[in-house]
Structure 1
């Protein structure tokens, strides 16, 4: 049988909460198809749940940027070898290089430590809801609730002054914007590196009871490694959760009959929202280090495999009625946090923030409703909404 082929990753969403319809059609034909990348590279696209997990779990694939081909067209023409896997960029490393830094960080993100943060996260959520209620409707929930909660939490965990948030959120937005050109992207990168370099210098002198101070005290990481690790943790620690909170709230407003179930069992609801929404919508990508067979297909050394997380999480061979949202579903096995050695380091923290954030919002504002047009983040590497205008019965 001839392997199906596709020219480029399908990205157009007729329904903003569903993956592009071509993804399901491709998965039905073959969960692993040949795909032409924007630069002409002839690689693969994985849309099936079992295939995505197999690639992510295999040591035969590399995660290094300089070995990859971009899965969607980019305006920034930057040589990946120069702007790629730099010292400290553990999320783009393989083997022992990755394991060395990952071991240091894993001890900082234990389930026990994350659980200890729950009272503080709940306090932050309630304080922001107090402020929202005082403001009165309508309110944009992105700047007032869904963004500040994870931003404040990750700042406190890392030991980053919250006053830095305007600067790092602005620079992060440039880096994550798929339409950013090379010069502003490089300027944003250098700005963040300067910011964290200055912060690390101060922490070397003063110390503190936070994650960055703990890493500095181990005296095993260079200044460059520390600044890049801090940048990765800060951006990943607020951008992903902020967008899940915002897009998840929008989704629940489209399914109001399920809100009560979220309040009753937020932990189960969060897993289903993670599966259903899959905000990592353009990747990940891995490159074969050697010839390897996956699902009956021979992937040759040097060939890239782009993986559709939305496709995997909507795979009917794994989940019954996958295109339906059911917040009482036990959605274990989804790949919203990835799989294998690069599975999201902060996933337990993200779960706690979402569990508390959704339940508190729906409990405090039970009459919540949309109050305007919502703009979706089609142009960003992390999907979500740019804004979320809402209203509620202020006199209830």
Structure 2
């Protein structure tokens, strides 16, 4: 019988933690499904990018939408990050209240009420907030909020470098027009240009990712020169996606990188050649709950693993995760991993194809895309090198409601 031990809930040791007794002689004793993060790999990934940035002479402002964890964000800042990047205002608010010193909200905000709430909270907690814009509407919203509060906030111009999601056309007249609008606004400070080469997730090889990274850098450097030619100073050039950072073609002309997924990594990064199996810090423990002559059925479905085949709609990965027995290495070197072929909400299907899995057996899943998996979890298990296990909250999980006053 496994022993009962105390696992602590909370991001800091001390009185804010709740002690929960749980069977934990080994991971096999944990209730499933369970999102696990290997702290040794997590820290190594953070330090790898910090060293990469140091060698390239750029700042790191990592995207926290991957982990949504105050504890992990603090680990990143402690290891050299200049701040963090958040997706939406509500997500940023979680980290503002936690006192993370500098936050870029890399999302165009058109509602000045949301910006007012962000800036008011940032002032209260002593946090420097940076916003982005890619249209006259987003510039006007930021200017109106800053004017109302009597403050001056940094604003970056979002540039479309090939994903065709948000951002100005770097070759069109709008790039100069919007940059000029920001630079001339009395309550805004033009902080430079920012991009995200998310199209790299559809690349078919590591070399293809490097070409996209090179193209992104060239587009941004050329736009900086174009803006400076018309008298607009460009203090910063920020780029970011995990594959284009890890498989970079150099950072000449760049001042900041904003990878997100690199802290956890997943099957997508492995398939792109941006990560080795032994770098992947997040896995999901699951239990075989049923079996028939066709499939083994596990207790992790789409509400745990998501239906994601990869970032930005990429679907080149087979199945919805790879699974190995917990008793085997997760790198798939001993036996080929099982592939989760399809999902229902609470069940995963693993075709047996002549192999066997016993009911009650525990498996370890490497998910396709770590970001939505973390967002679907209320908490995760942080597994430390000492064997100690901490249950950590996913602090910004599901926060999508706009931070505005309805009163």
User: In proportion to residue count, which structure has more strand?
Assistant: 2
If the length of structure 1 is used for normalisation, what is the TM-score?
Answer: 0.27
Work out which structure has the larger RCO, using CA pairs closer than 8 Å and 6 or more positions apart in sequence: 1
More helix by share: 1
Larger radius of gyration: 2
